[in-house]
Structure 1
Amino acid sequence: MSLYHRIILISIVVLPIICGTQAVAQGVFRVAFINPGATDDPFFSSLTYMMQDAASDLNIDLEVIDASASHIEVRRRGNEVLERGNPPDYLLLINDHDVLDGVIKRADMLGVKTFLFNEGFSSRRLKDIGTPRHPIKNWLGQLLPNDRKAGYLLAKDLIEHAKRKASHATIDMVALNGAYRANSSELRLLGLQDALAEYDNVKLRQIVHTRWDEKKAYDATRGLLERYPETSVIWSASDLIACGALRAVKEVGLKPEKDILIGGIDWSDFALEAVGKGDFQASVGWHVMDGAWSLVMLYDYHHGHDFPVSSHSDYFIMNKDNIGRFDRYLGSKEKWADIDFKAFTKTHSLQGQSYDFSLDAVLRHLSESSVLSKVTTH
């Protein structure tokens, strides 16, 4: 066989191997997400919907594993995933009830990379586990919402609108919080207290924990309205809780917006609709996108673009003053599906710039896409 023919033969054998290796490196990778919410929870339904949309845009093989609204089940399912003969490349986790340190340590030993979002470790637990990559190298990072700001924004909006209605009167408020010891509950309550410190004429009559349960929120509100009939503001740590409060308010003959102001946190579909109708004064949110943004960051990491090991997502308030602009571009799931998540990656678009996952950035993106679509179709 001549040298020429040997070179051709080697090329035929070797080049497909090289090209195939590059395809694997740049192609689909696998991410498993342990969903701690109930299957019918409106917040987690929207969150997973956006994650699936992002995964489709980014060519990520995303597996969503339901944990039946149980933090014990979250831990068990996490360990089950790690016991597979062929575990995923990345494990996305929400640290519900501070129970996932063992899963993250075990994943590190097995070489599975983990990323936290939505709910992180308490300061007490962080003393034992450390911070992302120190010392647990395969715990890549975390993207956590500013829950204290969420509680503050909601309280400020409710109080300011109550003041406009009765500028010289004392404002009686009750607070419906989430679960005991949940980091988000504690931080949102701190935000409420930050806001209360700025006012002299607001009286917080009572705080009730509801375990994030609509029925418990309904029962609690019925009792609170009997105990404090002058209540004019109900601060709720989630939209689902606010929904229970709304049902109780209407049953006792009070009119939302006129007699009492109700607000929640999450930007659930029904809550934004309630804001538009006047049943809710406001909803604070945008962290519903954090799962999708986490996938953007993992996508970049997988393609050689690292990210800050710890970062915070922002919250924005939605009320009657600004819901019109939101509705125009994000008023339905079909419109949310117009987001091209590649436009928010360092791999494709940012070219060394910092991430911008803000509401304004997405609205700009959708506005420009809408204009471009109109130009190209006419």
Structure 2
Amino acid sequence: MRKSGLFYLWLVLSVGTWVAPAWSATEPLAEPSIVFLNPGEPVDRGKGLFWPMTGRLMSIAAEAFGMQLEVLYAERDHLRMLRQAESLLQRESLPDYLVMVNEKRAAEQMLQLFAGTETKILLIHNDLTELQRSRIGNEREQISNWIGTATTDEESGTYRMMAELYRQLGSTEPQVVGITGDRSTPVSMKRAQGVTDYMTDAGRGRSLQLVFSNWSTADAYSKTEVLLKRYPQANVIWAANYSMALGALRAVQASHAAVVVGSSAAAPPDVKDSGQGMAVSLGSHFFIGAWAMVLLHDYHHGVDFADYGGARQVLDHLYVINADNAPGYYQAVYEQTDELNFRVFSKYLHPETGGYAFSLEPLLPAK
């Protein structure tokens, strides 16, 4: 897309501003160009596979729809991510769409950088905080080319994770320790909230302590060593990503403690949950980028996702993994990744009624 090349129709309604999808009834529509500012690393360097897998699945989904996707990795450096955004803005040809993440709350500045350009922006994974929204508004308002936000329903996911941990614990009174990520990342607190909600609804169990970590195995290991000494009665530990859960599990095993460990993210392909001591984990977090590709494909072809759940999409798609269903999950997600068919979720291709039904179930092998 040239900065001054294309004309977009803006229809101003009495209730706000509507951003028209890039659809034309008179001529074939070229598939769009998309840039993803990935805040993570292209490979796992001790902080989990989330961002590498997010980028990979986005690429597979984009290819399935014939879209051009470029992924820029910030290597867990939000300042580098800002520089990448600034550099992108200097290109002669801007992408049709830009996908970004509110990592370390940097999305507010990046949204302001691209405000008024022809590039449509989709925010994923980490939403803006309410304070940030109070400053720059919501989707399709002050920044009219910010067309939407797609986040995971983290609370519902960790709620189901805790239900499975309680089930495995049986009638024993749960004594719970939690390890979540850094305070500045909104998803950290959302995952913790789902745990709190389940314990409240269950009406039993005690939360001993919630600690913050830097998402790494090493830090979680050292923190768990201290926590097990402080709370010898602990029998449940949950962690907000797999790397931290693995650190907690290794500390539990080293101390021979009778503790079940749960992860709000799934294991990497070389460490299967079943047989490794992890009681439960949540899969499909890193599909959020692939779901975003579906939304952008449909939007580009005139099917506005805002008509199916609003511009601010909260997707309840997390999959509870235990010893029984782990083999099917790993087969589909890690062994047959390139065969995943994301086209089945497109409402442009499959215009059934109802909202987007993003789920791992249609992608898993038949039972």
Please confirm whether the aligned pair reaches a TM-score higher than 0.5, indicating the same fold.
Answer: yes
CA separation of 1:265 and 1:246: change in aligned 2, threshold 3 A? same
Relative contact order, CA 8 A, sep 6+: which one is greater?
A: 2
Distance 1:191 1:325 in 2: 26
TM-score by length of 2: 0.84
Aligned to 2:194: 191
Aligned to 1:141: 148
1:224-239 paired onto structure 2 within 5 Å: 224-239=227-242
1:108-257 paired onto structure 2 within 5 Å: 108-162=115-169, 164=170, 167=171, 169-199=172-202, 201-254=204-257
* Structure number with higher helix proportion: 1
Aligned to 2:342: 341
Distance 2:335 2:173 in 1: 44
Does 2:281 match 1:312? no
Distance 1:284 1:107 in 2: 34
Residue 350 of structure 2 aligns to a residue whose secondary structure is helix
Q: Which moved more, 1:35-44 or 1:214-223?
A: 35-44
Contact 1:271 1:280 in 2 (8 A): no
Bigger Rg, which one: 1
TM-score by length of 1: 0.82
TM-superposed CA distance for 1:29, in Å, is 2.1
Contact 1:150 1:285 in 2 (8 A): no
Aligned identity (percent) is 27
Residue 336 of structure 2 aligns to a residue whose secondary structure is helix
CA separation of 1:106 and 1:334: change in aligned 2, threshold 3 A? same
Aligned to 1:299: 297
Q: Which amino acid aligns with 1:337?
A: D
Does 2:71 match 1:64? yes
Contact 1:154 1:263 in 2 (8 A): yes
CA separation of 1:117 and 1:204: change in aligned 2, threshold 3 A? same
TM-superposed CA distance for 1:289, in Å, is 0.9
Q: Provide runs of 4+ in structure 1 moved above 4 Å.
A: 21-25
Q: How many residues align?
A: 335
Distance 1:298 1:24 in 2: 19
CA separation of 1:271 and 1:43: change in aligned 2, threshold 3 A? farther
Task: Give 5+ residue unaligned stretches, structure 2.
Answer: 1-23
CA separation of 1:22 and 1:304: change in aligned 2, threshold 3 A? closer
Contact 1:287 1:313 in 2 (8 A): no
Contact 1:27 1:59 in 2 (8 A): no
CA separation of 1:240 and 1:23: change in aligned 2, threshold 3 A? farther
Residue 144 of structure 1 aligns to a residue whose secondary structure is strand
Deviations 1:41-96 (A, max 9, x none): 31112111111111111111111101011222222212221121212111101111
Cα-Cα RMSD: 2.4
Aligned to 2:263: 264
Does 2:92 match 1:94? no
Deviations 1:280-314 (A, max 9, x none): 11112323111011111111111222111121111
Residue 277 of structure 1 aligns to a residue whose secondary structure is coil
Task: Give 5+ residue unaligned stretches, structure 1.
Answer: 1-20, 371-378
